[in-house]
A and B are shown apart, each in its own frame.
Chain A
Amino acid sequence: MTALTDLTLAAAKAKLTAKDISAKELTQAHLAAVAGARSLNAFTTETPDKALAMAEASDARLAKGEGGLLEGVPLAIKDLFCTRDVESTACSNILKGFKPRYESTVTQNLWDAGAVMLGKTSMDEFAMGSSNETACGGPVTNPWRRQGSNSALVPGGSSGGSATAVAARLALGATATDTGGSIRQPAAFTGTVGVKPTYGRCSRWGIVAFASSLDQAGPIARTVEDAALMLTAMAGHDPKDSTSLPLATPDFAAACGTSIKGLKIGVPREYRVDGMPDEIESLWRTGIAWAKDAGAEIVEVSLPLTKYALPTYYIIAPAEASSNLARYDGMRFGVRVDGDGLTGTYEDTRAAGFGPEVQRRILIGTYVLSAGYYDAYYLKAQKVRRKIRDDFDQAFTQVDALLTPTTPTAAFAAGEKSDDPLAMYLNDSFTVTANLAGLPGISIPAALDGDGLPLGLQVIAPALAEERMFAVASALEKAAAFDARPDVWWAG
């Protein structure tokens, strides 16, 4: 049993194709792991019946020698993805009980490739957060603990449930979404691989929108190759999303393991921030050395606007969110709280349905778009955003990819930052730039810190250069040979 959940996605795929194992037994093993790990609170909805039915269908196809790219592979799905007839709530009370009559394009792509759905994973409410503490179903606990400590750490967010499910071997991979770092930061906190592709690679259709111009779906998995396989299945042009890129999806897995000899890897000096722990600094140096050893040339580059990316993000994302979340009004779906007349009903519904962080961001977004403030905040942020993108364009005339730490710190304790929004926001300092510029980024587990917690390295590539990004990431992965895993303290 343990053996099946320890397989990489690629290895499981090989065994399924070779009929060494059945999709059903692979799925059962994972369902048992999910059931045994409820104390982590990674899942908000488990769908064992659906999983078994899908696994049996996969076995039937495999028996006929058919089957898609992910045939029989059990996956966890972030609750931000709408899944047909399965409660989809974005972990918000306002969507409690909402069962969509439709399937998001990305999850449909996965099912079309033969994947099996284990359930829906917890997340920060409406994907707003970096610790998974704002989920309406309660926080998710990171499978990793500090050495010699029993205190709970956060798994990062917003895709903390997905990252936890993958790190704790509850799923071979999981879908996630990334608006400012919500795939890469939890991946770094849980010792997993997280990929945010180029904006427009994955359709946003059927994914609950947070900030439309920044949101991108991507995978969390345990290896670079596994993530590449998943992304290959998830991505693709979707005519239902006007911002979906009309491009064929490359075979990302084929790019893994290709040589990076002669590639120029940029190291942006502005990512060396004040107060950054030595361990992050040294991790970065180690990563640079690995890249060099693999034949890459290291070039120091400058991204002068880096420190302005986060404040820019905290104008643009809340502004878009304030409008995107207007549809949660208790009129056509979701929860309605009757109040004084129509306006009272709107106000009570939304005050009761949205948690404090979501309310805070809606208020900020409403404020920055309101009459008299638009130019000073929103328009200004859009202009700074262009300058940030221009920075990257400039850097990518000198280098082929960028290497940075994923996060300024390792996983922190539950409750440590939940009362301080600004401290929480700083988690995304290194990841948010890629969202603003629309670039692909990947986080890979690279080392453990002094407390025995995983740390991630991030590779950012030019738009549409995911294959190069995967090549660099897999070279680093090979050099890092990261094989640490959390003790299974939660089982039973």
Chain B
Amino acid sequence: MPDCPYTLPGATGDWEVVVGLEVHAQVASKAKLFSGASAEYGAAPNSHVSLVDAAMPGMLPVINKFCVEQAIRTGLGLKAQINLWSRFDRKNYFYPDLPQGYQISQFKDPIVGEGEIVVELDDGETITVGIERLHLEQDAGKSIHDLDPKATYVDLNRSGVALMEIVSKPDLRSPQQAAAYVRKLRSIVRYLGTCDGNMAQGSMRADVNVSVCRPGAYEKYKAKGDFSHLGTRCEIKNVNSQRFVALAVEVEARRQIAILEDGGRIDQETRLLDTVKGETRSMRSKEEAHDYRYFPDPDLLPLEFEQAWVDEIKKTLPELPDEKRKRFVAELGLSDYDAGVLTADKERADFFEAVADGRDPKLAANWVSQELFGALNKADKDLSDSPVSTAQLGKLIDLIGDDTISGKIAKDVFAKMFETGDDPAAIVEREGLTQITDTGAIEAIIDALIADNPKQVEQVKEKPKALGWFVGQVMQQTQGKANPGAVNKLLKEKLGL
């Protein structure tokens, strides 16, 4: 990216933003990272809590192997260095939803080191974003402030749930890039199956680090990795949608610029995004004297494993979006755009591949990405709520392929499928939409047309494009059920074209 894609003009000149993200992705495990309690979302308060999660005296952590495996899988999916030796540290601070008085995390020696991901932007451009590290850590419980004006209620169901913290390099330069990065990261973990990516339930959330600088400063930082060229950053905590990530970058950048232009200074601090007011505000309670006193957790030993295990996991990696997209273009002959749309998330790709199985991939791509996605979009529905199943859409395509219905009729059938959830064959049957392929019947209509319209017959002989008029007439008389191919063929024969 030679030019900065996002510049904010100020009274004193232009500003650019520099963004790095720390995304917390909940590992899709059944049990918690260090206890056997369920990690499932939405249970009654304090029911998915073990004595370990409540930090009762003498309780000890034992690590969940599946969570370690998912961290490795994710690291491989991010094309990152897997560290065969890593370690858990304690991050010490007091908070009512942190029962131990420390969070078990990985500070100095994370399980996954540097990697990178390719991010597609809305304009079709791509950028490569560096991954700094990925580490495993415990989630905290939940504090509820609005049940009692004088007290806070604490639910420890999330306490100890396994999180992967994925830290990007400060490679993002605009609100849109930051949102696109989160979208791609979410896509990758969902392909991998390591995180369900459900941002509404908090399975994925981002801490957004934002700073602003003058044009040219970022390039100086890039040249030598010298952070002193960049501005002081603020961390916007717990942003829970792609849209809000973009919003956070934008409003925080504007806030910082306003301060700097007034001759002020940015304090490095943690802030919260107020999505209603569209502003960020300081989180003083967490700020106060933060000195986390990290040290290796003496209840745990270093996490060591063999390369052979990593290799085993590597063998089970699914095809990831970048590879799938390339294959859809190279092997299925899809356009790069269609391939991008269809592979943007795993659910879409799975849907398409099920529909395309044994069928014309381009036709399938068209029906999935144009018709179905269009209809879903209009109805404001997710693919998971699609009233049309892969089997049904496949059958519809088959009905076109075996000339039962025309492509045009198929669109009407599809609209009815989307509305009712019925099978296409049943709709065609019920509505009597079966295509007329009986050439005798079509011939009779054509013969009558030729006999009744000598003028048009003259015209079409001079201007073959006028054939459309005849096709239209046949279609009209058959309520669109005549096979267009057969109609064309017969007309040409009979008109001597």
Contact = CB atoms under 8 A, between A and B. Distances in A.
Interface of A: 81-82, 88, 90, 95, 98, 100-102, 104, 204-209, 211-213, 239-243, 319-320, 322-323, 325-329, 331-333, 342-343, 346, 366, 369-371, 374, 378
Contacts of B299: 209, 212, 242-243
B155 to A, nearest CB: 12
A205 B59 contact: yes
Contacts of A204: 58, 60
A326 B295 contact: no
B42 interface: no
B96 interface: yes
A241 B60 CA distance: 6
Contact of B58 (A205, A322, A331): A205
Given A102-B51, A327-B99, A366-B293, A320 B60 contact: no
A123 to B, nearest CB: 14
Contacts of B94: 326, 329, 346
B58 to A, nearest CB: 4
Given A213-B298, A329-B94, A242 B102 contact: no
Contact of A206 (B58, B101, B295): B58
B57 interface: yes
Ranked nearest first, the 4 interchain pairs of A and B with the lowest CB-CB distance are: A326-B101, A212-B298, A369-B293, A213-B298
Interface string B36-80: 000000000000000100111111111100000000000000000
A323 B293 contact: yes
B93 to A, nearest CB: 9
Given A102-B51, A332-B56, 6 more contacts: A100-B57, A242-B61, A322-B293, A366-B293, A369-B92, A369-B295
B154 A240 contact: no
B301 interface: yes
Nearest to A316: B298
Nearest to A126: B57
B90 A239 contact: no
A332 B54 contact: yes
Interface in B261-319: 288, 291, 293-295, 298-301
Nearest to B295: A369
Given A242-B300, A242-B301, A323 B58 contact: no
B100 interface: yes
A345 B58 CA distance: 23
Contacts of A325: 101
B315 to A, nearest CB: 29
Given A331-B96, A366-B293, A378-B295, A323 B101 contact: yes
Interface residues of B, number: 30
Contacts of A369: 92, 293-295
Interface SS of chain A:
loop
A198 to B, nearest CB: 15
A177 B56 CA distance: 19
Given A346-B94, A370-B293, A374-B295, A327 B58 contact: no
Given A323-B90, A323-B102, A370-B291, A242 B57 contact: no
Nearest to B93: A326
A322 B62 CA distance: 21
Given A323-B101, A326-B101, A88 B57 contact: yes
A329 B92 CA distance: 13
B291 A371 contact: yes
A242 B62 CA distance: 6
Contacts of B152: 342
Contact of B99 (A95, A243, A332): A332
B56 A333 contact: yes
13 contacts: A81-B58, A82-B56, A100-B58, A205-B58, A241-B62, A243-B298, A320-B298, A323-B90, A323-B101, A326-B94, A326-B101, A374-B293, A374-B295
Contacts of A207: 58
A329 B101 contact: yes
Nearest to A346: B94
Nearest to A209: B58
Nearest to A327: B55
A333 B99 CA distance: 10
A342 B285 CA distance: 10
A430 B152 CA distance: 49
A45 to B, nearest CB: 15
A240 B56 CA distance: 14
Interface in B74-115: 90, 92, 94, 96, 99-102
Nearest to A334: B57
B55 A332 contact: yes
Given A204-B58, A240-B62, A242-B62, A211 B100 contact: no
B295 A323 contact: yes
**Which of A208, A327, A343, A374 has the most C-beta atoms of chain B within 10 angstroms of its own C-beta?**
A327
Nearest to B285: A342
Contact of B92 (A88, A323, A378): A323
Given A332-B99, A370-B291, A370-B293, A242 B55 contact: no
B481 to A, nearest CB: 70
Contacts of B99: 327, 331-332
Contacts of A320: 295, 298
A205 B60 contact: yes
A165 B294 CA distance: 40
